[in-house]
Amino acid sequence: YAVHCTPQAYTRSKAMDKGRLIGVLIGFLIAIPVYIRLLCRVFTVGFGVFKVKERKPPACLQDPQFGVHKYMKVNGIKIHYVEAGEENKPLMVFVHGFPEFWFTWRYQLNYFKKNYRVVALDNRGYNDSDKPAGIENYHIKNLIDDVKALVEGLGVNKFTLVGHDWGGAICWTFAALYPELLDNLIICNCPHTLSLRDQRQRGWEQKLKSWYVVFFQCPMLPELFAMSEDMQNLENMLTDSGLKSGSEEMEAYKYAFRKFETWKGGMNYYRCAASKKSVDFWQDKNIQEKIRLIKVRTLEIFGTGDKYLAVAGAKGSSAYVEDHTLELLEGVSHWVQQEAPDRVNMIMEQFLKIAK
DSSP 205: H
Per the rule left: phi > 0, alpha: psi between -120 and 50, beta: everything else, 194 is alpha
Smallest CA-to-CA distance from 266 within 185, 195, 165, 118 is with: 165
- Gyration radius of the chain over CA positions: 19
Cβ-in-10-Å burial (0-12, 13-18, 19+) of 9 comes to middle
Which residue of the set 139, 164, 192, 334 is catalytic? Answer: 334
Q: Is 270 noted as a catalytic residue in this protein?
A: yes
Which residue of the set 270, 306, 308, 320 is catalytic? Answer: 270
Count of all residues that appear for the chain in the document: 356
Render 241-297 in DSSP notation, one character per residue: TTPPTT-HHHHHHHHHT-SHHHHHHHHHHHHHHTSHHHHHHHH-HHHHHHHTSB-S-
3-state DSSP call for residue 120? strand
Which residue of the set 130, 165, 198, 306 is catalytic? Answer: 165
Q: Is 324 noted as a catalytic residue in this protein?
A: no
Q: Is 126 noted as a catalytic residue in this protein?
A: no
Cis status, amide bond into 99, omega within 30 of 0: yes
Between CA 104 and CA 335 the distance in angstroms is 9
Please give the positions annotated as active site: 165, 270, 334
